[in-house]
Structure 1
Amino acid sequence: MTIDVLDRMDLEADRVGWDALAADARASNPYFARPVVDAHLAHRFVEARPRFACVRHGARLVAMLPIAARAGRLGWCDAPGALCSPFTTLSTPLVARDAPDGWADALVLAIRRAWRGGAFLFPMFPVRSPLGVALCDAFARTGAELAALAPFERPVLAARGSYDAYAAEALARSRRRGLARLRRRLDERGLAAHETACGGLGLRDAIDAFLRIEQSGWKGRMGTALAEHAVTRAFARDLFLSAEGPVASRADVLLLDGAPVAVSLALVSAGTAFLLKTAYDETHRSLAPGVLLEDAIVRALHADRFCERLDSATLPGSVLETLYPDRMAIADLAVNLRPGDPLFPARVAAERWQRGARARVKRAALQPS
């Protein structure tokens, strides 16, 4: 195997190889696929000149990690690391399903060539996945120190044999009865329907409905809805409408008398659907349209097999924790590429203290007065 460090223009010469790698990755990650990286670059949500640590087996690209000079804070200053933005929820490198043994050591060497020393971050890294363990072991063989920050268990769902098999395993009887009761109440309000769109005018309309519904809710009141700002509104449309090749877009819409009351937008890549954005009409809050839409997506997974796995793409506290029985261990992984650097443990300790302090303030703010 050979390694190289390329810029975006250099990698354009092998866009076919990049697309093939993303389409058949052993661990899905649409955020590092060409269309999604380019959407981020076009709207300046990542730095203008990322570098790409590449591993080849012969002429074929078998592993790749895009790298940014600033991937997040570690203690008192920024640190480089895997390319990320406010809209990415995973930093798993792209690794071919049939990559030969030694890919992890080669990728670590390529990362070290791209960034020669100091702290390096993998935001939202699957630390206990087979790929995550292999990469951590490869770093450890170089003497690098590793530290997992803010670990949590993300809900995911691997398709079962049927929806009934899933429900029997994952949902308590009270939960199944509650979902049935919500569906009856929704039906009593009007004609309910679940529709999907994967392109064309249907997808465009679903994206516009999502932006409208999100802006009408609490995110709009907080000023954090995507439609609140021209740049995030344009990025959202481009992200989902320009998906191609190894990444497909999917919109799931719950309708009541023909009007959208909940919308979920996802990116589908290498057999996994990443449920990036969901919004529901708060005027129908008592009907829990968001929960009903999530249940409809699970039903569609088992009926249509549009993918093999659902990734909630969430932070802790998601409602999907009550619907998805499987878990993926996620943490921000900090790696010291300069073994023995005394600043690394101090920065890790400072970062943990700062995150703990922010969490305590947030909990205090949520306490009833």
Structure 2
Amino acid sequence: MALDRLPRGAQGRAVMSHLPASGSFQPDASHAWPMSDAAQPVVRILRHTDLTADDRAQWAALSALAGAANIFVQDWFMDAALSHAPDGADVLLAVVAPIDGPWLGVMPLIAAPRFGRWPVRIWRNWSATNQFLGTPLVIAQSADLFWKSLFAFLDQRAGGEIMLHVAGLDADDPVSIALFDRCERERRAFHTIHCHERPAYRAGKEGEGRGDAKMRSRLRSLSKRLEQDHGPVTIDILAPDAPCTAWIDAFLDLEASGWKGRGGSALASDGATQALFCEVIERGHANGSARLATLSVGGRAIAMSSWFEAAIWGHGFKMAFDEDYRAYAPGQLLMRDIRDRIGVRPGMSFDSCVPRGAGHCHRLWGSNRKIVDGAVAIGSPWQHVQFDALMKARAAYAAIKARFPDRPAT
């Protein structure tokens, strides 16, 4: 489904659902809540720290079946994210599965007392820093049943929450399409909060080519000049059986030496963020999904990059470069090599995971991936009315800000 097929209500008109609400819920297995048909799945609300060995086995099996399009929600990545995030203990895992059956889908949720500037209680899907895609881990063939079950559960068990905020969805993923379609069939209000595009490569897309020819010509010239000025240029991918600790340490040092280090936004500037980076690189390298690249000149590393690959999608992760060599665009030189490696992988698409306006990255990839944030009405009919009022208030405030952009906030 393209964005123009978002359910009615996405552009401002609320569409009501009429399921009743009851009390709020707490995270434990006793809140496994069956649908009216006993053959339907149940929704369980679990904490990460309370998962049993069987739960973890189910999570891993689900990741193997459904994790190809979003590596950030696979069990090994999400487990590390929840372990290191300051708010990880507050996250609840909403699991949809038949009684004593395999997991069909799981979505991390966290309660929030505000939605931006608005003091309303909501649920939102949770992602840690540096998890760049929020599409939940759901078997595509079961996606409609997942959303149907989750919405019915939230309607029945919501306390004061009036909405589910779903952020960072791939608009063209089957799981997201099932969300849009389910809202439309239930006449449940869905509002698009934000939408943007990220540079990407899409396997098999006609005309994808090799990106911008002028950009590639410029990079060839820069590579030649770099070699003439400083010596042989090499690009190495860390071997799967080689230890990755030295690569991790070198990357952290390289990133901290630049503007991120000076501004306090480098990985090494925050203990939890650094720990998450180290763990997911180590786990990804061990399970074969991480790729760790280094561009060197004269034996000196001047750009390093990491990305992850699953069966059908690769995702950019972290890159750093030596600012002493900025004039040669070493980061872009390394990105060009990554683009070429992805381009010869049959069936492999790639999400750069960087904003479209970030440098000239988009000129290498030639396509894009639409990312959408949305708000879904949940709860009782009265809570749907409150949701509609909130969306109208947001729209009115945005219109005032657009008309009077320099007016001080009050």
> The TM-score by the shorter chain falls in which range?
0.7 to 0.9
1:151-190 matches, cutoff 5 A: 151-159=195-203, 169-188=209-228, 189-190=230-231
SS in 1 for 2:177: helix
Q: Which has the larger radius of gyration?
A: 2
**Aligned length, in residue pairs:** 355
Q: Is the 8 A contact 2:200 2:365 kept in 1?
A: yes
Paired with 2:44 and 2:314, the residues of 1 have a C-alpha distance of 29
Structure 2 match to 1:140: 184
Paired with 1:221 and 1:262, the residues of 2 have a C-alpha distance of 18
Question: What CA deviation, in whole Å up to 9, does each residue of 1:12-34 have, x standing for no partner?
Answer: 42322221222231762222222
- Structure holding more strand per residue: 1
Structure 1 match to 2:354: 314
Pair 159,187 (structure 1): closer, same or farther in 2 beyond 3 Å: farther
Aligned-pair CA distance for 1:263: 1.2
Pair 92,294 (structure 1): closer, same or farther in 2 beyond 3 Å: same
Q: Does residue 69 of the first structure (1) align with residue 111 of the second (2)?
A: yes
Paired with 2:269 and 2:198, the residues of 1 have a C-alpha distance of 28
Aligned-pair CA distance for 1:137: 1.8
**Structure 1 residues not aligned, in runs of 5+:** 362-369
Aligned-pair CA distance for 1:205: 2.2
Out of 30-39 and 2-11, give the one that drifted further. 2-11
Aligned-pair CA distance for 1:296: 0.6
Pair 100,121 (structure 1): closer, same or farther in 2 beyond 3 Å: closer
Aligned-pair CA distance for 1:216: 1.3
Question: What CA deviation, in whole Å up to 9, does each residue of 1:246-279 have, x standing for no partner?
Answer: 7822212111122221111223334322112111
Structure 1 match to 2:78: 37
1:248 is matched by which residue type in structure 2?
S
Aligned-pair CA distance for 1:355: 12
**TM-score (structure 1 length as normaliser):** 0.83
Aligned-pair CA distance for 1:177: 1.4
Structure 1 match to 2:136: 93
Question: What CA deviation, in whole Å up to 9, does each residue of 1:121-153 have, x standing for no partner?
Answer: 112122343321211221333342111122111
Question: What CA deviation, in whole Å up to 9, does each residue of 1:206-241 have, x standing for no partner?
Answer: 222221121111111211111123332222212211
Say which of 259, 262, 278 aligns to 1:237. Answer: 278
1:321-340 matches, cutoff 5 A: 321-338=362-379, 339=381
Aligned-pair CA distance for 1:193: 1.2
1:5-16 matches, cutoff 5 A: 5-7=44-46, 8=48, 9-10=50-51, 12-16=53-57
Paired with 1:26 and 1:4, the residues of 2 have a C-alpha distance of 20
Structure 1 match to 2:304: 263
2:58 is matched by which residue type in structure 1?
G
Structure 2 match to 1:121: 165
- Structure 1 vs Structure 2: percent identity of aligned residues? 25
Pair 322,138 (structure 1): closer, same or farther in 2 beyond 3 Å: same
Paired with 2:290 and 2:275, the residues of 1 have a C-alpha distance of 16
Question: What CA deviation, in whole Å up to 9, does each residue of 1:280-315 have, x standing for no partner?
Answer: 111111111111111111122234x39712111123
1:4 is matched by which residue type in structure 2?
V
SS in 2 for 1:67: strand
Pair 143,224 (structure 1): closer, same or farther in 2 beyond 3 Å: same
Aligned-pair CA distance for 1:67: 1.4
Question: What CA deviation, in whole Å up to 9, does each residue of 1:55-87 have, x standing for no partner?
Answer: 335722222212122498443246321121222
Q: Does residue 150 of the first structure (1) align with residue 190 of the second (2)?
A: no
1:88 is matched by which residue type in structure 2?
Q
SS in 2 for 1:134: helix
Pair 316,172 (structure 1): closer, same or farther in 2 beyond 3 Å: closer
Pair 245,293 (structure 1): closer, same or farther in 2 beyond 3 Å: closer
1:213-232 matches, cutoff 5 A: 213-232=254-273
Question: What CA deviation, in whole Å up to 9, does each residue of 1:97-135 have, x standing for no partner?
Answer: 554864442343355567564121112122343321211
Paired with 1:317 and 1:17, the residues of 2 have a C-alpha distance of 39
Out of 53-62 and 312-321, give the one that drifted further. 53-62
